[in-house]
Structure 1
Amino acid sequence: MSTPLPPDVDPFGLLKPESLQNPYPVYARLRAEAPVYFSEALRAWLLTRYEDVLAAFRDPRLSSRLTSGYGKLLPPAVLEQLTPVLRNLASWALFTDRPEHTRLRGLLNKAFTPKVTENLRPRIQALVDELLDAVAPAGRMDVIADLASPLPVIVIGELLGLPREDRHLLKAWSDMLVGFLGATRVTPELFAEAVRGIVSMEDYLRQVIAERRKRPGEDLISRLSAAEEQGSLLSEQELLSTCTLVLFGGHETTTNLIGNAVNALLEHPDQLEVLRREPGAGVSAIEEVLRFDSPVQRQMRLTSEDLELGGQRIPKGQTVVLMIGSANRDPAQFPEPDRLDVRRQDNRHLTFGMGAHFCLGAPLGRLEAQLALGTLLRRFPGLKRSGGTPHRVENLSLRGFASLPVQLA
């Protein structure tokens, strides 16, 4: 457990253990008292109101090149240690601006079209059934370990053309990176783990890429290896980084979305009953969980010039944190924001971002969550909690569970 920060460093208690378990009361206080707030603990400006977060997503003066900001935050020795991680992240489409972002996103757009996603429906459904068949005889399961984690890893692995038996390696390497990207406290051990994860993943991907160049297939790695966009081939690092981004982004959010959805419904039995009576509400239910307990709690930007946000002057080179989890609970945008309503219609949440960096994998994640949740509730109408309080992952950026045990009967 992390040592609490002094009150003058974290006056709103954003990093307290209880706030990491339930950040929404702190978000409400920030929206009311300091909607544009400089956090000494995070060394960043926090935007917590919906209108400010939405405006920030659309503001070209806020750069996504976050890796360039580490030079101001970390000592030279630490930066040198982190070189493999920062080099990989620097070529993620998520962390680039135009024109690099346009080129990289153009290459990926073709792999995540609505048609491609919808064509995966039968395969995703078969995987959900297979995973639930495996746990049904026991009458109990861990929603995370048995369904929410393996399902998206298998799906994204198959898209990339990776062997299913390697999914545990991919998940382990991804988890090493998760700790770094959303850490509540940075430590040398955390840095070392992130480096090990990235180096291992890149070594693995190099072997796969070399094999695909000899024997290309219909998978995404084969297409990326041969892809050309606007007359420019991907560099080796861009190819490695793009594959890493697809692996990471293709499952972490979906795992947390499925877990958060099951937990939210078990905590709100009236809404669970609505969904049981009205299976057609599954689409709006997933959108409501994305708003109500967002699997992505924040995104970060860097100011490329001096600017004003929400009435505050922010100098060039400052980190700005778009607090998505708070924006999605803003009463100025959502009536009764702290109430789970699976029938909610006007639900323009910001979980997948907005503008040029809107999440490419959003349709796939939505489909996986809809099929997983719908099948789970249909097959096991007596679903209920098992054991004590489920264990949340301690992470500032991603909100989900490490485990979520349930009884199926």
Structure 2
Amino acid sequence: MPETLSAAPQSFDDLLSEAAVQTPTEFYNRLREQEPVYWNPRWNGWIVTGYRDVMAGFRDHERLSSDRFAGPFAKDMADSGSRYRQLIDFMNHWMFTKDRPYHTHLRSLVNTAFTPRSVEVLRPRIQQLTASLAESLRGRDRVNLMAEFAFTLPVIVIAEYLGIPPESRENLRAWSDDLGAVVFFQGGNQDRFETGGKAMEQLAELIRPIVRDRARNPREDLISGMVHAELDGDRFLEDEIISNVVLMVFAGHETTMNLIANGVVAFDRFPGEWQRLADDQGLARTAVEEVLRYDGPIRALARWAREPFELSGRRIDTNDRVLLVQHAANHDPTFFPHADRFDVGRWPNKHLAFGQGIHTCVGAPLARLEAQEAFAYLAREFSAVEVLTPDLRYSRNLVSRSLLGLEVRLHER
């Protein structure tokens, strides 16, 4: 433990405690007030909770690394890699786990296929799907919103966008859950690398023949775009395409599912904001940004130090782990006035829900579009979406903010 840091209360050491997982705003607010850059001996790294420090961490690509296969994370991956080779090899091609220059190679090629224009053309289809799914929920006393809407909408959208056959979509949730246990550092799951490895194998078996078919018979989908993407003579290798399609399948519905579900909970707690959105559909854009700030789908992301440096008076040493808690940053009252208030008209809203810098979430435009259309339609058609689940429970992991279930009643206007 660094000698410069006095010990903070022991209650802050367990980042998978009931308080940290179920009520992260209160947990990290207290920690930020006492130790905004805190050495956590249990996690064996620094916990960063202030807005400016978290922002600086996301943008510091020289001194802070995202590479999960080097530095202090390397041993865990190497140990797992000896048994789960395909899982580790494919994760080693994921954009968010890599630094420059390899990250630049991946991101640049993806950007040639995954453009804002290619996302925007999906809006009519997303509107159609939103209406169809929501109408099937009308007039019922109890609706499983996670299974019947928050999951279903984004999984159909990302599968269609990528070009994955409809008959394969039913398995995506289970495979993504198993993969998420590895990606999100799920606590108490001793078998996560084994189940994650099997999920990766199944996803690769699904995607590889699609990639090879698109090489011969390109279509108007994202896999075709990636297969034929070229930038200054640089192209994807087949395994790079497969691994990043797996990432998009996983992240492409997981993030939006949690964004929609967490937003419904926020609107339930602040019903006046639901009516504001119903009265002014133009607020859909700022409403989604406020959901992302108030209770976004990702709580925190890890980095490690390439070299020593200081952060808010604390010395970060080489190979120290650093957890950038964007959930805490997004509730920092020194940056967000009335941070505890859910305000669908809040603007500007420079939240950190999708990260910052070169690792800003590549799928953010699609997630925003889906959530905008979902909230706008639901608020227009229903006077309230009432949360019925008496005790909301969240997945016990370090990274995501993911409800385990959400039952609601949609009240007719």
Query: Is residue 2:198 matched to residue 1:196?
Result: yes
Structure 2 residue matching 1:38: 3-state secondary structure: strand
Distance change (3 Å), C-alpha of 1:69 and 1:79: farther
Choose which of 313, 316, 319 in structure 2 pairs with 1:314: 316
Structure 2 residue matching 1:254: 3-state secondary structure: helix
Paired residues of 2:13 and 2:43 also in contact (CA < 8 A):
no
In the TM superposition, what is the alpha-carbon distance from 1:227 to its structure 2 partner?
Answer: 2.1
Structure 1 residue matching 2:39: 3-state secondary structure: strand
Partners of 2:91 and 2:284 lie apart in 1 by 35
Give structure 2 stretches of 5+ with no counterpart. 1-7
Choose which of 214, 217, 223 in structure 1 pairs with 2:216: 214
In the TM superposition, what is the alpha-carbon distance from 1:106 to its structure 2 partner?
Answer: 1.2
Corresponding residue of 2:147: 145
Partners of 2:79 and 2:301 lie apart in 1 by 26
Deviations 1:37-59 (A, max 9, x none): 12222222111100101111111
> Partner letter of residue 132 of structure 2?
E
> Partner letter of residue 147 of structure 2?
A
Paired residues of 1:298 and 1:325 also in contact (CA < 8 A):
yes
Deviations 1:229-257 (A, max 9, x none): 23222123211211112112211111100
Partners of 1:86 and 1:150 lie apart in 2 by 28
Distance change (3 Å), C-alpha of 1:128 and 1:139: farther
Please report the RMSD computed on the Cα atoms of aligned residues, expressed in angstroms: 2.0
After TM superposition, the structure 1 = structure 2 runs for residues 302-381 of structure 1, keeping only pairs within 5 Å, are 302-381=304-383
Partners of 2:222 and 2:395 lie apart in 1 by 30
Choose which of 201, 204, 207 in structure 2 pairs with 1:205: 207
Paired residues of 1:107 and 1:224 also in contact (CA < 8 A):
yes
> Partner letter of residue 36 of structure 2?
P
Structure 1 residue matching 2:322: 3-state secondary structure: strand
Partners of 1:203 and 1:131 lie apart in 2 by 29
Partners of 1:181 and 1:16 lie apart in 2 by 19
Partners of 1:313 and 1:390 lie apart in 2 by 38
Paired residues of 1:10 and 1:39 also in contact (CA < 8 A):
no
> Partner letter of residue 239 of structure 1?
I
Corresponding residue of 1:227: 229
Partners of 1:229 and 1:76 lie apart in 2 by 32
Partners of 1:171 and 1:50 lie apart in 2 by 33
Choose which of 243, 246, 250 in structure 2 pairs with 1:244: 246
Corresponding residue of 2:388: 386
Distance change (3 Å), C-alpha of 1:235 and 1:130: same
Partners of 1:311 and 1:86 lie apart in 2 by 36
Corresponding residue of 2:95: 93
Corresponding residue of 1:50: 51
Corresponding residue of 2:5: none
> Partner letter of residue 407 of structure 2?
P
Distance change (3 Å), C-alpha of 1:89 and 1:76: closer
Paired residues of 2:303 and 2:323 also in contact (CA < 8 A):
yes
Paired residues of 2:95 and 2:103 also in contact (CA < 8 A):
yes
After TM superposition, the structure 1 = structure 2 runs for residues 293-304 of structure 1, keeping only pairs within 5 Å, are 293-304=295-306
Partners of 1:278 and 1:232 lie apart in 2 by 46
Partners of 2:72 and 2:85 lie apart in 1 by 11
Corresponding residue of 1:21: 22
Choose which of 178, 181, 195 in structure 1 pairs with 2:180: 178
**Segment drifting more, 71-80 vs 91-100:** 71-80
> Partner letter of residue 359 of structure 1?
C
> Partner letter of residue 207 of structure 1?
P
In the TM superposition, what is the alpha-carbon distance from 1:278 to its structure 2 partner?
Answer: 2.4
Partners of 1:380 and 1:140 lie apart in 2 by 14
Paired-residue identity, %: 38
Corresponding residue of 2:70: 68
> Partner letter of residue 19 of structure 1?
A
Paired residues of 1:275 and 1:282 also in contact (CA < 8 A):
yes
TM-score (norm 2): 0.92
After TM superposition, the structure 1 = structure 2 runs for residues 76-155 of structure 1, keeping only pairs within 5 Å, are 77-155=79-157
Distance change (3 Å), C-alpha of 1:176 and 1:339: same
Partners of 2:285 and 2:200 lie apart in 1 by 35
Deviations 1:361-400 (A, max 9, x none): 1111111001111111222224322242233222221112
Choose which of 156, 164, 168 in structure 2 pairs with 1:162: 164
> Partner letter of residue 41 of structure 2?
E
Partners of 1:388 and 1:174 lie apart in 2 by 26
> Partner letter of residue 57 of structure 1?
F
**Segment drifting more, 282-291 vs 7-16:** 7-16
Corresponding residue of 1:3: none
Paired residues of 2:84 and 2:197 also in contact (CA < 8 A):
yes
In the TM superposition, what is the alpha-carbon distance from 1:157 to its structure 2 partner?
Answer: 0.8
